[in-house]
Amino acid sequence: MIGIFDSGFGGLTIFKEIEKTLPDYNYVYLGDNDRAPYGNSSQAVIFNQTKQAVDYLFNQGCFLIILACHTASAEALRKIQQEYLPSKWPGKNVLGVIRPLAEEASQLSNNKSIVVLGTNSTVESGAYIRELKEQDKALETVQRACPLLVPIVENSKEANPATKEILKEYIRELKGYQPDTVILGCTHYGWLTEQIQQEFGNQVLILNSGSVVANKLKNYLQRHSNMVKLAGSEVKRTFLTTGDSHIFDSAAEKFLGRIITSKKINLNEYE
C-alpha cells in the first residue's frame, strides 16, 4: 500500500495523476486539514506534524509514502529520510515532490532560467535552489512566495477578477528574468495553471506537480518492484483527514471529479 500525504486538499491533484498512471496499487490519502496550511509554520512544527503523518501511515500498512506537500518536502523530508526512517522504520521509504520537479525542470530548460512559485516556507527553505543546482550548476533560479494563492484555490476563487490582479502582481517582475520554465511549487497552484500561463506567455513551460511526480514514481517502482505489492483483484482507496470530513469530501469531489467518503482521524496521538 502507498500513502500520500499533504497538509490539505492540494495533494489530491498529485494523487489523481498517480492513480491514473499506477491504478493497480492500494492507496491511502491523508490530508492534515485541521492544521493547514503548513506554508507559514516553522521548520520544527512542519517536521513534527509530517513525522506524525508518516508514523500513522506506516502503522496503517503503507510501505512507501509520498509527501505530496511541497512545504513538507522542503522542510521535513531530508531529516525524515536521513535520521528518522533508519531507526524507526527501516526498509520503508518516504519520497517528496521537489527532486522530481527539479530534475524535470533542469532537463527541459533551454536558457537555464527557471522561476519557482511557492509558499513562504518552501521559498525560505531554499530547497528548490539546492536541488536545481545539484542537477545543473549553470541554472539560474528565481523564487517568489505566493501566500494568497492557496486560500484562493481552497475557496474556489480561481475565476474571481481579483485573482487575475493578484497573479499579475506576483508575476510582473519575474518576467524580467526571461524564464523558459516555471515550477509550481505548491500542489494548489495547479488549479491556476491556465491563468499563470497567460501571465507568463505561451513560450514559457509551466511544470505542474501531478504528472511529473506520477511518472517519476512509476520509474521508482519499476526499480524497486519488491517494495510495494500490487493490489490484486480488488484495489482500495482510503481517504483520511484531520479536519471536517464533510468539507474534505466536498473539496475532493472538485479535485478528483468523483464522490468519496473520508474518515476523520487525530494525528496528535502520534506525538
Q: Where are the domains of the chain?
A: 2-96+211-270, 98-209
Fold of 98-209: Rossmann fold (3.40.50)
pLDDT (0 to 100) of residue 225: 86
Mean pLDDT, each 10-residue run in order, the chain (271 residues): 93 95 97 89 93 96 96 95 96 96 96 96 94 96 95 90 96 96 94 95 93 95 90 91 95 91 90 62
Q: Is 146 tagged catalytic?
A: no
CATH classification (class only), 2-96+211-270 = alpha beta
Residue type, 136: D
Q: Which of 117, 186, 213, 252 is catalytic?
A: 186
Rounded CA-CA distance 127/49 in Å is 19
Written as nine digits, the cell of 54 is 508518516
pLDDT (0 to 100) of residue 270: 67
Q: Do domains 2-96+211-270 and 98-209 have the same CATH topology?
A: yes
Q: Is 69 tagged catalytic?
A: yes
pLDDT (0 to 100) of residue 271: 62
What's the pTM value of the predicted model, to 2 decimals? Answer: 0.93
Q: Which of 65, 69, 115, 153 is catalytic?
A: 69
pLDDT (0 to 100) of residue 8: 86
Question: What are the distances in angstroms from CA 250 to CA 69, 155, 169, 245?
Answer: 20, 12, 31, 9
